[in-house]
Amino acid sequence: MKKTIAIIGGGIGGIVIANKLRNTLPDHVRIMLLEQNKMHTFAASYLWLMVGQRTTDNISMPLNRLVDKGVDTVFEEVKSIDTSANRIKTSAQTISYDYLILSPGADLDRKYLNRSGEGIHDFYTFEGTQKLLEALNEIGSGEIVLAIEAMPYKCPGAPYEAAMLIKDHMNKRGLSGRINVNLYTPEPQPLPVAGPELGNSVSRLLEKKGIRFFPNHRLSEVNPGEKKIGFDNGREQSYDLLIVVPKHNPPAFLANSGLTDESGWVPVDKSTLQTRAENVYAIGDTTSVSIPGKWQNDKPMKLPKAGVFAHGQALVVADLIEAKILGKKTAATFCGDGFCMLEAGEDLAGFAYGDFFAEPNPQVKMKNLGRLWHFGKVLFEKWWLSPAGIRKTLYQNLLLAGGRLLGIPIKL
């Protein structure tokens, strides 16, 4: 029987699962990828764009060049889903499906976006990152402040990488003694979801680089006229350049789907990524996956919103759907392993790897800074943005060989 598999979202998870399903399922199975944007920008490289180490062309690629030609790509906005009727309503049509994978990522609250004219910047949007680069190249002295508006946010290491890359950028401009870099977060430590060992390692790294770090500070207000920000504990901070990590929200079309919990995100079985609806899966940033350990106010910690997890989850769900359609058996499960190359400036990076499902807390360690880890991140970027062909195969073989050499179980 002809089946239709619909995938909502053309980010990392959506691209990976679309290509894997197309390569493993027969042609009579229709693979549909629904995404608003025809141009794909590699968000992991926004931090390099922020400090002038990449251009916009370096990190952009038409989505159709990253997706197998056998995938039916639909560039429309998803308005709603009805899992009882197996239907998706877009801005232009209604689509029926047999299997549905949700991979729409997270939406950004607009409160502090598009306000570069008031000196408020971000590195979570493509346009905002470009304007931030201009501001970083213009500032000559004073206080640069990075403030996190709310939890959770995409890529738990990004604000810490940003602070270190900005510090390095200012040093290269000869402003090391004239610019202070300050980082405020509501978290009790850096990357609390990765466990105390990694958090302590990153704290020491920030201190070594002269970055002022303020945990347990939640941004509550911004006064651009006076160039001051306030926090929920009553503290205030003056700034000359402000960078906000905006609040992340669940995509609006999920609101009445019946798939979300009280947080607005989609709870899933942590091993199979199955939602409460039959044949509907969710992967990546839109999911809510509890992991061992407690965060503030005794709330359970959640699996971080990071591309590495979307990638791994996509491979698992692809295997599960393939097994259902072809009548095969599979032992595919998502095990909670994750890794990150943490950029520290000066072409150096640390490598963090571990088990996020470990008891009683996630067990993640960071290797010492080195150029090798930075090169690994560059290599992954090259692989991801290469269209299918010899060059992509070469980068993939280099990544896999490097992983085997270093004992890192990389799956692509």
- pLDDT tens, position by position, 49-92: 999 999 999 999 999 999 999 999 999 999 999 999 999 999 99
Among 303, 333, 363, the domain-final residue is 333
Asked if residue 79 and residue 38 are part of one domain, the reply reads yes
- pLDDT tens, position by position, 163-221: 999 999 999 999 988 999 999 999 999 998 888 888 899 999 999 999 999 999 999 99
What's the CATH number where 299 sits? 3.50.50.60
Structure tokens at 128: 């905002």
Question: Do β-strands 120-121 and 241-245 pair in parallel, antiparallel, or remain unpaired?
Answer: parallel
Asked if residue 227 and residue 299 are part of one domain, the reply reads no
Asked if residue 385 and residue 324 are part of one domain, the reply reads no
Phi, psi angles (nearest 5°) of residue 77: -85, 130
SS3 154: strand
Among 186, 213, 247, the domain-final residue is 247
**Beta partners for 236?**
230
Model confidence at 403, in pLDDT bands (50, 70, 90)? Answer: confident
Look up the domain containing 310 and give its range. Answer: 4-106+250-333
**Beta partners for 25?**
none
Model confidence at 1, in pLDDT bands (50, 70, 90)? Answer: low
Q: How many domains does the chain have?
A: 3
Contacts of 85 (CB under 8 A, 6+ apart): none
Asked if residue 179 and residue 135 are part of one domain, the reply reads yes
Report the predicted TM-score, pTM, of the whole model to 2 decimal places: 0.94
Asked if residue 266 and residue 157 are part of one domain, the reply reads no
Distance of alpha carbon 49 from alpha carbon 130, whole angstroms:
7
Alpha helices in 45-125 (DSSP H): 46-50, 63-66
Asked if residue 67 and residue 18 are part of one domain, the reply reads yes
Among 247, 265, 291, the domain-final residue is 247
Asked if residue 9 and residue 41 are part of one domain, the reply reads yes
Please calculate the CA angle 305-259-98 and round it to the nearest 5 degrees: 100
